Chain A
Amino acid sequence: MTAITAEQKPDLREPKGWRRTKNRTMTALMVLSFILVIIPLAFVLITVIGKGASAISWSFLTSDIPPQTSPVGVGGIGPAIVGTLEITAVATVMAVPLGILGAVYLNEYGGRNPLSAFIGFMADVMTGVPSIIMGLFIFTVWTLHFGLSGFGGALALACLMLPIVIRSSYEILRLVPNSLREGSYALGASKARVTVTVVLPAAIGGIVSGSLLAIARAAGETAPLLFTIGAAHTTNTNVFSGANTSLPSLIFVNASSPYAGAEALGWGAALTLVAIAFILMIAARLVTARFARYTH
């Protein structure tokens, strides 16, 4: 648009009257819709920081979770932080490699065959499966047989992350130029070798940043953990057995508690959780900016 106005300045100003009014009104409405989105975001962030910052201290981040009836300032969220890190890490270890391999199948092996197209379509559909359904699913196939544990929660989160990692990795693999592949085939490399040593390194920035966003999403999820990890008030470093806890679960329980101490603990935990999610998102942006060779 700038190019056009620059060339023929006097003729191309907007027409006067009703058409100009309508054009400007609509542009103003578009700006207004952005402002409408900023207001709740700012409102939430200011509240979380305002109410959470006063709770944060080293002892808050490391102490055990107190009973709900405790006064404000007693105890902390240490077990929930440890639980969130453990569960998310185990989920990542399961979902990210499988997701990348799935994307490799879709782009490198499947191509346009019907099975590959169907799997890609269903991966899209799977990103829309409600997280609570993943919780019910893992409760049925894992928790009923092996009991509550952090690992059950990790399985549920992994189910949630898998399609997201597949989609984001697939979109990046598509952008890797074919000449790279053809060059390495010409040198006599096998398909697996081409994929592992040429295609994946070329796409690594986008894959890592997509995975980080999937991790950020999983770390904030509560619903898949509700029935799978139980509840704990002390740190459980064994992710494979015994009840565990996490930041989102702790916030969920405390949000509906009538006690002021529990509410304050919830705000502190919310600030910690938002901080973790934002750090992951910023890391994803940095990785994209630093390593992405092929972007949209």
Chain B
Amino acid sequence: MSTTVAQAGPASAGSADPLKERRPLGDRVFQILALASGLLVLVILVWIAVSTSQQASSWFTTEGWKIFTNNWNPAANDFGALAFIYGTAVTALIAVIMAVPVSVGIAMLLTEVVPYRWSRPIVYVIDLLAVVPSVVWGLWGILVFAPWLNHIYAHIGSAVQGLWILGPLFGPPTSGASFFTAGVILAFMITPIVTSLSREVIATVPTIDKEGAYALGATRWEMIMGAVWPHSQGGVVGAVLLGLGRAMGETIAVALVIGSSAVITSHLFAPGYNMSAVIANQFGEATGVFRAALFGIGVLLFVFTIIINVLAHGVVERSARRKRGA
């Protein structure tokens, strides 16, 4: 946005400008093509909303408010989606709770602790995590990670059984494919994006603030808490929201490791389901209202992720603006 060429160039000068008359055809065509490509983003977003809502309309009309009940039984024509919404919320929260401290820690490490020549290799390693495809996380998750976690879950489960709060959360029934396994895999997958966004925000903290803190005799940690953190808080919140949005929408890895059981339970080590996974797993065999219901879950997921992303980018842009102004 920093460019001011718009005023300098002949294209956007006032209408009385004689240069405007002489703009060649190719120039105008190019501008129109560029504008059309930009508008394509808006067209696609609106088209997604309209086309999927149309496909889902019979679900909304036949079920009404029952879409928000916990009753999913396609064989009996019951299509309440609450269990999937619950699963999406639980897995995404587990992912964010685990990924955020680690990501912010790495971001601080990269910007405040290690020298520049070390930070580049570390960034490469974190980026590798983002390059591993979702389906490979899923394959590894279900064939290697879940069987291994299953033992750990069983031990924890028998240890906390009957305890207050811990029992209902981590007690039996336990299974390798569960809400918690899905949450852990999602945490791995969102760590790179939360890290890189937090790092960008933290890197904008003015050096003079940091030097000021050091000059007052602060240790590095005191400098981080006193100078870096207050400055980057807002941006980090945006990064966390973006990570949450990614975790909500991630499909294939979750579809493989969540256990595919449409229930609402406090037991995190038990099999569950979420919105994206149910679409991926059941769409192939769905017809009629069943298919409309899956489209409807897609529409809800689309709306949720759009809201989260709008909030996230709004927060990031606001904190960036405040920084520029300061």
A binds B: yes
A interface residues with partner B (beta carbon < 8 Å): 1, 4, 14-15, 19-20, 22-23, 26-27, 29-34, 36-38, 40-41, 43-45, 47-48, 98-99, 101-102, 104-112, 116-119, 121-134, 136-137, 140-141, 159, 162-163, 166, 174, 178, 181-182, 185, 190-196, 216, 219-223, 226-227, 248, 251-252, 255-256, 263, 266-267, 270, 273-274, 277-278, 281, 285
B101 nearest CB across to chain A (Å): 7
Considering the complex of A and B, which 7 residue pairs feature the smallest CB-CB distances, nearest first?
Answer: A130-B249, A220-B133, A33-B105, A192-B30, A101-B37, A128-B309, A105-B34
Are A221 and B133 in contact, CB atoms less than 8 angstroms apart? Answer: yes
Are A38 and B125 in contact, CB atoms less than 8 angstroms apart? Answer: yes
Are B134 and A281 in contact, CB atoms less than 8 angstroms apart? Answer: no
Complex formed: what's the CA distance from A40 to B104 in Å?
18
Name A137's contact: one of B48, B283, B309 (CB within 8 Å).
Answer: B48
Complex formed: what's the CA distance from A119 to B24 in Å?
27
B15 nearest CB across to chain A (Å): 16
Number of interface residues of B (CB under 8 A): 102
Are A256 and B35 in contact, CB atoms less than 8 angstroms apart? Answer: no
Are A37 and B40 in contact, CB atoms less than 8 angstroms apart? Answer: no
> Known interface pairs A132-B249, A192-B26. Does A220 touch B136 (Cβ–Cβ under 8 Å)?
yes
Interface of B is mostly: helix
Of all chain A residues, the one with the shortest Cβ separation from B105 is: A33
Name A23's contact: one of B23, B144, B219 (CB within 8 Å).
Answer: B219
Of all chain B residues, the one with the shortest Cβ separation from A277 is: B131
A169 nearest CB across to chain B (Å): 11
Are B220 and A105 in contact, CB atoms less than 8 angstroms apart? Answer: no
Are B44 and A159 in contact, CB atoms less than 8 angstroms apart? Answer: yes
- Of the listed stretches B58-66, B67-75, B161-169, B295-303, name the one at the interface; the rest are far from the partner chain: B295-303
Chain A residues in 8 Å Cβ range of B102: 33, 36-37
Chain B residues in 8 Å Cβ range of A227: 283-284
Are A37 and B126 in contact, CB atoms less than 8 angstroms apart? Answer: yes
Chain B residues in 8 Å Cβ range of A174: 1-3
Complex formed: what's the CA distance from A263 to B283 in Å?
23
Are A111 and B1 in contact, CB atoms less than 8 angstroms apart? Answer: yes
A136 nearest CB across to chain B (Å): 5
Are B279 and A136 in contact, CB atoms less than 8 angstroms apart? Answer: yes
Residue pairs across A and B with Cβ atoms less than 8 A apart, 14 shown, are A19-B219, A37-B106, A40-B129, A111-B12, A129-B306, A132-B298, A178-B5, A191-B11, A223-B251, A223-B252, A251-B139, A252-B255, A277-B131, A281-B128
Residues from 118 to 170 in B contacting A, C-beta threshold 8 Å: 122, 124-129, 131-140, 142-145
Of all chain B residues, the one with the shortest Cβ separation from A134 is: B48
Of all chain B residues, the one with the shortest Cβ separation from A195 is: B30
With an 8 A cutoff between CB atoms, is B305 at the interface?
A: yes
> Known interface pairs A110-B38, A121-B313. Does A182 touch B256 (Cβ–Cβ under 8 Å)?
no
